[in-house]
Structure 1
Amino acid sequence: MTTDTKPDLRPANPRFSSGPCAKRPGWTPEALSDAALGRSHRAKIGKSKLGQAIDLTREVLGVPGDYRIGIVPASDTGAVEMAMWSMLGARGVDMVAWESFGEGWVTDVVKQLKLDDARKITAPYGQLPDLASIDFDRDVVFTWNGTTSGVRVPNADFIPADRAGLTICDATSAAFAQKLDFAKLDVVTFSWQKVLGGEGGHGVLILSPRAVERLESYTPAWPLPKIFRMTKGGKLIEGIFKGETINTPSMLCVEDYLDALAWAQKTGGLDALVARADANAKVIFDYCDANPWLSNLAEKPETRSNTSVCLTITDPAVTSLAPDAQAAFAKAMVSRLDKEGVALDIGAYRDAPAGLRIWCGATVETSDLEALMPWLGWAFAQEKSALAQAA
């Protein structure tokens, strides 16, 4: 429904950014009062907090006991780059991409690592590639949830248990909101700035025993910078996965992550986090079903993200415009909602089709999304009226 009248109800929290994402409900700076500020991360208190963060990550996500978990530099990007630069090149690799971040990993492998035996398996925004065409005798790099397209793999059934290659999965907007099948994943990466609403700059790298075996048996042909090195003398540097980080972490950010993990546990653990994200996304899905001017960018319901929900404006008055004008229309809507203080940072990613992107992860309250939906209709009506007047 669209209306020229401003809705009465406003979201209590208008923060719908796709990263860094909204803080957990009830968060205040006092939650960080126990942070180990002014202390070395190598002191007993620093190691203890980093180790606790690793242990709680394992507990909440259900990571198998024989998988290593490390806190690494440079957010999810750093974690993915560490894995690719350290492990790829031992065999051919299939690079699977259907949005901008996946395409970024393709660029790194083809143009930076210059691997000759790299295949690209891609699909346009809104679609998944042909997953059956992936060769799992090769290494495989893919995103679980396309943050900039709102398209995710529905499950890991497409990955064989008896694969010969490694699976490297960028799960940054999936971890803590979607069930990851760790038995099918050899490397999993994410940043706690996404679903748990932590602060930026830190990545998490999870390695299966098969990934560790690759690290200890294979030496890449290229030099590795210090922050990528996970082995010494042909053996895994175990300290990295016990809280002895490669470089200095922010203990304030670590404390914030600990707070978010504690909240996740109190909320009911992973099942509850997934349920919260599902309920949030359903609010938008239902609104799209009832309002034909707006559609989910993901073409198939089973591939729709429950975190980074991407939307396109499908009203003929907008779709008949040139691409630049369509983008301007969407940006005008975003700007109008921002000025009203009801939705912050909901523009589509710069490389994605014009539209909206609304974060629905577990730290967002369903009531805030319910309050936001009428505002979308209002902003659309305002911009459509302005478009008609300009014609």
Structure 2
Amino acid sequence: MIAKPAVKPARPWFSAGPTAKRPGWSLANLPTNLMGRGIRAPEVEARFAYGLELTREVLRPPEDYVLLYTPGSDTGAVEAALWGMLGERPVQVVAYENFGLTWLTDVKDHLGLEPEVLTAPWGELPDLSLVDPKKDVVFPWNGTTSGVRVDHADWIADDREGLTICDATSAAFAMDLPWDKLDVTTFSFQKALGGEAGIGVMVLSPRAVARLDAYRPDRPIPKVLRIADKKGFDRTLAGGVVINTFSVLTIEDWIDALEWARGVGGLPELIRRTEANYSALADWVERTDWVAFLPDRPEIRSTTSVCLKFVDPRVTALDEAGQKAFVKRFKALLEGEGAVYDMEPHRFAPPGLRLWCGCTVETADVVAATPWLEWAFQTAASELAG
């Protein structure tokens, strides 16, 4: 039996959402002077507007792109785009992991459109050269549930006629997004910067705003997804006005995360931290014989939501139910020791491991986690032998 490691991660949080809070975070540090104030109070609206200004400052989209909040986290942001913009022209959906498949269901079954589907097995990307510049395209930049990311944007035409609608919730603030190729970009507070859940952000190019100004979908749009009025895009939203009542404390937490991000060096440093975390985990995977990356191709591996698969015959010989039971035991061993929390894969993904390596995680904690992963595997595998 392998001995338990002597050192635990100081911050053992590796969930892919909500993700780890930023280093040094404390609830006591968040301002509470606006708690209980009305959502339309000038001071409250000013804080929401400041949150958008900081988001722009750290994320660095082009000046003529507009930012706004949506209810419902990244899900609400994506669905606001789907409901409010699709239908003017044919649409393609890139569905290579759970959330791409979810957007496909929305487009096909709920909006009643007939999308062309580009799909691939778990751990792979579809052939993106098949994306038609005359069509709208919906795609995740980073597959949070599959550990796969889009590795370049050359497949997006500069002279495209359709819109690109990009779910970037586990890519924003961790990867260098090609803004000139993206018309609608969405993310949530609780992924890349460890914010609290419930609020999403949309980043709209001038082309996306023009679509909202000119196109009126022939469908009712729920209020929480309504980002256009009778005149077109509701420009008050770009000033921090919110569609419905949001949590003031959640906004203060978001501002706290953004001010930390700005203070440590902005987007370049956030990307560097993410890549350092990924490299530390990748080094361990490369020298460990019972685990491998779910994506075989290095160039498409996510640096944030790192998904791994078992390759040890003792585990691969099990059926799917047996492998899921093995993951459950693996998780229980780690969490029972307070060593690594929430390392299991998404419930619809293949059995394996998933560890968040975004910028709010410390590289030293990734390094400290790996001996515990080894201990948990060897312990659980020895139990299989009985």
Counterpart of 2:350 in structure 1 is 353
In structure 2, what is the Cα distance between the partners aligned to 1:283 and 1:305?
14
1:151 to 148, 152, 164: 148
In structure 1, what is the Cα distance between the partners aligned to 2:201 and 2:31?
24
Counterpart of 2:268 in structure 1 is 271
Distance verdict in 2 for CA 1:313–1:35, change over 3 Å: farther
1:41/1:248 contact within 8 Å kept: yes
1:56 to 54, 57, 70: 54
Matched, 1:244 2:261: no
Alignment of 1:288-299 (within 5 A): 288-299=285-296
1:305 to 273, 291, 302: 302
In structure 2, what is the Cα distance between the partners aligned to 1:315 and 1:230?
50
How far 1:35 sits from its partner (Å)? 5.2
Counterpart of 2:163 in structure 1 is 166
Counterpart of 1:119 in structure 2 is 116
In structure 1, what is the Cα distance between the partners aligned to 2:301 and 2:84?
32
Distance verdict in 2 for CA 1:376–1:273, change over 3 Å: same
Alignment of 1:80-159 (within 5 A): 80-116=78-114, 118-159=115-156
In structure 2, what is the Cα distance between the partners aligned to 1:98 and 1:115?
19
2:274/2:357 contact within 8 Å kept: yes
Alignment of 1:186-225 (within 5 A): 186-225=183-222
2:340 to 340, 343, 348: 343
* Worse-matched range after superposition: 297-306 or 142-151: 297-306
Matched, 1:333 2:330: yes
Which contiguous aligned blocks of 4+ residues in structure 1 show a shift greater than 4 angstroms? none
SS at match of 1:140: strand
How far 1:328 sits from its partner (Å)? 1.3
In structure 2, what is the Cα distance between the partners aligned to 1:288 and 1:15?
19
Give, as a single letter, the amino acid of the residue that structure 2 aligns with 1:100: N
How far 1:234 sits from its partner (Å)? 2.6
In structure 1, what is the Cα distance between the partners aligned to 2:296 and 2:131?
21
Task: Structure 2: give runs of 5+ residues left out of the alignment.
Answer: none
* Worse-matched range after superposition: 176-185 or 25-34: 25-34
Aligned residues: 386
Q: TM-score, normalised by structure 1?
A: 0.97
Counterpart of 1:31 in structure 2 is 29
1:97/1:142 contact within 8 Å kept: yes
SS at match of 2:52: helix
Give, as a single letter, the amino acid of the residue that structure 1 aligns with 2:168: A
How far 1:226 sits from its partner (Å)? 1.3
In structure 1, what is the Cα distance between the partners aligned to 2:78 and 2:248?
22
2:70/2:225 contact within 8 Å kept: no
How far 1:90 sits from its partner (Å)? 0.4
1:35/1:255 contact within 8 Å kept: no
Deviations 1:201-253 (A, max 9, x none): 00001111100111111111111111222222232211111011010111100
In structure 2, what is the Cα distance between the partners aligned to 1:20 and 1:120?
29
SS at match of 1:189: strand
In structure 1, what is the Cα distance between the partners aligned to 2:107 and 2:31?
42
Question: Alignment RMSD, CA only?
Answer: 1.0
2:84/2:228 contact within 8 Å kept: no
How far 1:15 sits from its partner (Å)? 0.9
How far 1:41 sits from its partner (Å)? 2.4
Q: TM-score, normalised by structure 2?
A: 0.98
Give, as a single letter, the amino acid of the residue that structure 1 aligns with 2:68: G
In structure 2, what is the Cα distance between the partners aligned to 1:224 and 1:46?
27
Give, as a single letter, the amino acid of the residue that structure 2 aligns with 1:266: G
1:183 to 180, 193, 198: 180
In structure 1, what is the Cα distance between the partners aligned to 2:33 and 2:177?
30
Give, as a single letter, the amino acid of the residue that structure 1 aligns with 2:118: I
1:35/1:252 contact within 8 Å kept: no
Task: Structure 1: give runs of 5+ residues left out of the alignment.
Answer: none
SS at match of 1:81: helix
Identity over aligned residues, as a percent? 51
Matched, 1:388 2:382: no
Give, as a single letter, the amino acid of the residue that structure 1 aligns with 2:341: L
